[in-house]
Amino acid sequence: MTHDPSEYIRGLQQLLISDKKKIAFLFGAGTSLAKKNSHSLNIPAIGIMTNDIVTKLSLSVPRYKIALEEIKQEIGEDK
């Protein structure tokens, strides 16, 4: 028995045509990194986004900087 992609496509088409079945799509981490062109929106990966948020919070509110440094020490720099 071989894998037939067209069979899966036909099945998906039947599901999409039917208004009786509810369909949900779950997109995983990294999906936002796909970029169609230079004008497409792009959300940075979680590591970059975390660093950006920590930097901005640390600069804007001094007590946040202290709290974030304590959290880093508690969980470890690489986590």
End-to-end CA distance of the chain: 44
Residue 1 pLDDT class (50, 70, 90 cuts) = low
- Mean per-residue pLDDT, 44-68: 85
**pTM, to two decimals:** 0.42
- Mean per-residue pLDDT, 59-76: 88
The domain segmentation of the chain, as residue ranges, is 42-79
Pair 56, 65: CB distance under 8 Å: no
Among 26, 9, 25, which residue's Cα sits nearest to residue 17? 9
Whether residue 63 is predicted with pLDDT greater than 80 in this model: the reply is yes
Cα dist. 51→7, 31, 66 in Å? 44, 19, 15
Whether residue 56 is predicted with pLDDT greater than 80 in this model: the reply is yes
